[in-house]
Amino acid sequence: MEVTYENSLMFPAVTICNNNWFRKESLNSSGTLDFGLSLSSSASAVVNGSGYNLTEFFMTHGHQLDKNFDLPWACDWKYTECSSANFTRRITDMGLCYTFNDGGNLHATFPGEDYGLRLILYTEQDKYLARTRKAGFTVLLHQPIDTPHMANGFHVAPGEVTSVAISLIEVESLHIFQ
């Protein structure tokens, strides 16, 4: 067995999704979204999506991350302030989400929460649809080259502090029989 210590490790991509897919102001007076999806409590969901660009729809009607960074130091990476410009907007299995370190260019050099990503997230609960089951966010840590599957993520509740520690273990098989 051989143990190797690296000076720095690639920081994972961090994808964040608001658990409420669409903002309440996207509903019209009859309780439907403009592409014909009924979200009122009295009707079942009905879709008439012909002629609509769903990617554009999610980008327009999903929660916008720039609202999170109105507060100073709502985002910092190793004590350097960051902003919504450091995140990539993407459509996932949870609608509009945002990924930090999408290109995999960032590395962690020291352990601990002070040397990684720290965020204050604003849930915008006043803009939640009545059918949203849980407030907060779903977060997924993944390889930057991987497509995020948010069903594998963890829940971050509003009004709470959540810390996540990660470590990297690489296993390399030795081919001794050839």
Q: What is the DSSP string of 49-81?
A: -TT--HHHHHHHHSPPGGGGGGSTTSEEETTEE
| pLDDT reported for residue 50 | 58
Mean pLDDT in the chain? Answer: 83
* Farthest CA pair distance, the chain: 71
- Round to whole Å and give the CA distance between 65 and 59: 11
List all residues 6 or more positions away from 163 whose beta carbon is below 8 Å from its beta carbon. Answer: 113
Nearest to 136 by CA among 16, 25, 33: 16
d(C-alpha 71, C-alpha 12), whole Å: 25
* Domain segments of the chain as ranges: 9-22+63-156
Q: What would the 3-class secondary structure string for 85-116 be? A: HHEEEEEECCEEEEEECCCCCCEECCCCHHHC
Quick check: 126 and 5 in contact, CB under 8 A? no
Classify residue 118 by burial, with Cβ atoms within 10 Å: 0-12, 13-18, 19+. middle
CATH 2.60.470.10 applies to domain 9-22+63-156: yes
Tell whether the model's pLDDT for residue 44 goes beyond 50: no
State how far the Cα of 133 lies from the Cα of 124, in Å rounded to an integer. 15
Task: Out of 76-85, 113-122, 164-173, pick the least confident.
Answer: 164-173
Q: Which residue has the tokens 């009905």?
A: 46
| pLDDT (tens digit per residue) in 103-161 | 999 998 888 888 899 999 988 999 998 888 899 999 999 999 999 999 999 999 999 88
d(CA 168, CA 92): 25
pLDDT of residue 53: 77
